[in-house]
Structure 1
Amino acid sequence: MATQVKVKKIKSVKRKKRHTCPHCEYNTLLCCNMKQHIRIHTGVKPYKCRQCEYAAITSSALKKHTIAKHTNIRPYRCQHCDFTSAWPGALKRHVLAKHRGERPYRCDQCDFATAWKYPLQRHHTMARHTGERPFLCGHCGFSTTKKRHLANHIWAKHSDEKPFHCELCDYSGKTRDQLAKHVRRHSNYRPHACSRCDCSSPIKQDLQVHLLTHMMNSLSCTVCGYSTIDKSRFKRHIARHTGEKLHKCEFCDFSAAYKSRVKRHMANRHAIETHRCEVCGYSFLAERNYHLHVRRHSNYRPHACSRCDCSSPIKQDLQVHLLTHMMNSLSCTVCGYSTIDKSRFKRHIARHTGEKLHKCEFCDFSAAYKSRVKRHMANRHAIETHRCEVCGYCTGQMPDLIQHIAAHASNTVTD
């Protein structure tokens, strides 16, 4: 009898379809990976941080950002130094680069080597070997390999616009990072300390500039020991001790040690290219500052703090407020008010204690705020008054003068 042989049918394995990017040569088997890759070309970042303006393409990148920037969790510690990291990969790269000296990523055309992959990619794309710089500046001879570098160059070198303004002083910057660095100077948090003296700074770059005073021939103040290598800064510092006022007003005898104060005086007293508030009479040289000021008179406060009940009409005010949660702030034991500004905290405490720090030079009047003493001196002792050119009426408050001039105008219309 013939034996029957059973033949097993082999199932055909279906090959998965590979997804190819229409913008570059990237391909993958998973559709979800392709969707994330496409966002690199389109610039869509759907995952946004709740505590800052950071946005990411993937949820894992947002998670890394949250742990690294908004928490103090650093479980991975270097055995050779004090370096800590939130991720094992960063610690591994640190050990390779700093302690072992290993640089696995090398350039094929030169001796350049690095411990990180991204610097090697940047090395290849920065025209190190080809010399090609297709993006040229129309104002000067600057050229670069990337379009965003050209945009940053034009913004920094050929644009006078500074949209980011400090709400505590007259400073304005071109970028949000410049404003954030400047705001730190108003705080008492100074983590960067000098190893040679008692000086400390809120910004690392300021400490590096300070260290030059120990290495170079610096200018030292004989009164308080202050030293710097910047002649203009040293000149302004000496003016504090001598009382010298270098900047003068063009219309009156007013003078000040800082140019910004003279500009503010000209705006308030002489109405030079100003934008004046109709509610309180305060005036500004810049129209943007005027619009920011007007918001403070309204009850519309769209910028709310995620950690407390505080809200603000201006975004920069909220950023300054967030520093009270991140830094060592001064807290009131009576009502819980907190701030990083010593002068504001001192004025706040005066509300509870009833202490009146500022006194009038001509009588026994005193107040907790310096502005109230100035108003008293203007009204009672005719100091720095505003005078009407029509009838000679004078007052210490600009809003009163505005109302008085409006009365003249209404009388003229009636007649």
Structure 2
Amino acid sequence: MNCEHPNEHHQEEHLAMLSSEEMQCESVVSESSGSQRTPSLPLNSNNVPGGQKQNRMGKMKIHLCPDCGKTFTSPSLLQRHQRVHTGEKPYQCSDCEMCFNRMGALKKHQLLHTGEKPYRCLDCGKSFRQSGALKTHQRVHTGEKPYQCLDCGKSFRKCDTLSAHQRIHTGEKPFQCQECEMSFNRHSTLKRHQLIHTGEKPFYCSDCGKRFRENGALKTHQLIHSGEKPFQCLVCGKSFRESGALKTHQRSHTGEKPYQCLVCGKSFTAPSLLQRHLRVHTGEKPFQCPDCGKSFNQQGHLQLHQHVHTGDKPYHCSECWKGFVRQNDLQLHLRVHTGERPHHCSECGKSFIRRTDLQLHQRVHTGEKPYHCSECGKSFTAPSIFQRHLRIHTGDKPHHCSECGNSFQLSKLKTHKCIKKEAKP
């Protein structure tokens, strides 16, 4: 019996359940050298690779697949392998009619219907449907990473993770999207990508109704509702929802900044910070205000700007009642009243309210000018000065006179207003 299952989503769920390490080709003796062989070929013990076991006659038969040349130690293994080529799936699930080419695969699949997870981790209590999945999981607790990349030395807990990693070195991207021809080095990455074309977001949050393309993204999102932050920094005790966020945070203790800007040499703790920084050099401002059309290079800057239109300033100074959009801005403002200047220059002793002001000041001593104009080659110490300079080349005049409506650069606008004041009787 050979059959096809109509429910592709269910099939994907099943395939994701299977341990890739258990799906490797079994009992493969050797690859064909390309010469023609008969399906059953007697070999003496000297000819059998890897020191295979002999039968009582001192000889072993290997069984050759005529389609791909793989060899097997028994006819039953060869027969099972050939179903890969024929597409035969003789084992059918009585619950959902899904078919499989191996009895073992069917039995694993049936655990989906029963909900049974007989293999339990003694360290954390988590349960699994397969012994192989439990064994792989236990490496999380032991720290064991037995699969090592021979190119860079990096180690992995799972064999298939190593295989996917090795494609980084080879450049191989065997999984291609039929919609846009974009290629990927992992099948799972391709499947996630394809959801962009279909618009499908199959993972649904029962608390707020938000939908996600990936189950992992849903699980991370649900931590917002539960308030759970399972990843804790051992140095300062701060907790995070995601392991990646913890890893980035830990660099604040180690001082590691592995992501470097090739334009100015500045380094960052996370790739997202580097990407955001690069917009300073490219001038890219992808975040646009829907009210006035003004663009920004950071989403946070856009969100702050939008308070200009709403007039919302929720944080107020208890001394002068000045309002602020952000709590951090209020904290900095309070130093005006307290006189606190916690950031000191080690060169000249000058103090500053803000760390960024100190960093800009230090460039006076170092002579560093990391912001370079690609038009004229001139360099600048601060991004604000650089952005102002760029308007000379672009002709942008973002500042408007409230009286006559003419546009100017800021310095010219101030001069213009002075002229108008002097002109008045």
Q: Report the TM range for the smaller structure's normalisation.
A: 0.3 to 0.5
